[in-house]
Amino acid sequence: MLVDLIEECNMTLLEIENIHAEVDGRPILRGINLSIEAGRIHAIMGPNGSGKSTLTYVLTGRESCKVTQGSISFCGRDLLSMEPDERAIAGLFLAMQYPVELPGVSGLTFLREAVNARRKVAGEELVDSMEFLKMVRSKANSLGVSDEMLKRSVNVGFSGGEKKRNEILQMAMLEPRFCILDETDSGLDIDALKVVSDGVNSLRSSDRSMLVITHYQRLLDYIEPDLVHVLAHGRIQKTGGKELALQLEQRGYINFIETAA
């Protein structure tokens, strides 16, 4: 197993070439091409069921999404040959559309295990639980995640919005090189959207890239993308600037989808 951290990346951070993927034998992605440079924020919009979440799973290595064609390189590495944990250690992070419940695993344990997994690879000292609580507390509180929530089982009994904040907290703790946000804005109230966006924006930097999936133009007012893509029928149908999101909102997807499958 070749797990390592990426210290520096002077090339295109993420390069997706002609990715075809199927779920349960059904083709979902039919030739995705996407290239994201370091420091850039790309947004993906698209109708329900078009394959947006499937793309995030292909990137993070979920077994149920089978890649049948194409390649992905992450900072020059062959991403598809890596296990999900290796990808995470290498700096890939997915804030999930539907975060998974982990009964009996406290938020603190979960976060500490994740941080320690990374430290272990980096050859750094592992943190114990007391120390860790201090590390996590200020970040958690700024995202509106209370101590009480940290002690509870991960995502169990959390409201939709609480789950999303919790995802962003994980992201803030892990400081990944590449962040994928899958409908992080869904379920957030107006104030929370601001809080979470601030959290995301504070992670913006010249060597960190993001892929933001959303249905709503409003999120992109907070997290301004460099490019917006329209994904439909398993392909990227159109790419444009920030204004594309506005046009989509006004005119619907139908005018942007050239070929129906």
Ligand X SMILES: Nc1ncnc2c1ncn2[C@@H]1O[C@H](COP(=O)(O)OP(=O)(O)OP(=O)(O)O)[C@@H](O)[C@H]1O
171 or 219: CB nearest other proteins: 171
Minimal distance, residue 222 CB to ligand X, in Å: 20
Minimal distance, residue 92 CB to Mg ion, in Å: 18
Residue 84 interacting entry, from other proteins, ligand X, Mg ion, none, C-beta within 5 to 8 Å by type:
other proteins
Count of residues making up the chain: 261
Closest alpha carbon to 98 in 133, 62, 128: 62
Q: Which two tokens stand for residue 78?
A: 């062959």
199 or 234: CB nearest ligand X: 234
Residue 105 binds other proteins, judged by CB under 8 A: yes
Closest alpha carbon to 230 in 209, 218, 215: 215
Minimal distance, residue 106 CB to ligand X, in Å: 29
What's the rounded Cα separation, in Å, for the pair 193 and 63? 31
Residue 99 binds other proteins, judged by CB under 8 A: yes
Residue 102 interacting entry, from Mg ion, ligand X, other proteins, none, C-beta within 5 to 8 Å by type:
other proteins
SS3 222: helix
256, 237 contact by CB (below 8 A): yes
Residue 97 binds Mg ion, judged by CB under 5 A: yes
Residue 23 binds other proteins, judged by CB under 8 A: no
Minimal distance, residue 63 CB to Mg ion, in Å: 18
Residue 117 binds other proteins, judged by CB under 8 A: yes
Residue 28 interacting entry, from ligand X, other proteins, Mg ion, none, C-beta within 5 to 8 Å by type:
ligand X
Residue 113 interacting entry, from other proteins, Mg ion, ligand X, none, C-beta within 5 to 8 Å by type:
other proteins
Q: What's the Cα-to-Cα distance from 48 to each of 7, 113, 155, rounded to whole Å?
A: 37, 34, 24
With tokens 């804030």, the residue in question is 95
Contacts of residue 103, defined as CB under 8 A and 6 or more positions apart, other chains included, come to: 153, 156
Write out 56-109 in H/E/C secondary structure: HHHHHCCCCEEEEEEEEEECCEEHHHCCHHHHHHHCEEEECCCCCCEEEEEHHH
Contacts of residue 129, defined as CB under 8 A and 6 or more positions apart, other chains included, come to: 108, 109, 112
- Please give the residues from 161 up to 200 whose contact with other proteins meets the rule CB under 8 A: 170, 174
With tokens 């799973």, the residue in question is 57
Residues near ligand X, by CB under 6 A: 23-24, 26, 28, 46, 48-54, 64, 97
Residue 23 interacting entry, from Mg ion, ligand X, other proteins, none, C-beta within 5 to 8 Å by type:
ligand X
Residue 83 interacting entry, from Mg ion, other proteins, ligand X, none, C-beta within 5 to 8 Å by type:
other proteins
| Interacting residue ranges for other proteins, rule: CB under 8 A | 60-64, 83-85, 87-89, 93-94, 96, 99-105, 109-110, 113-114, 117-118, 153, 170, 174
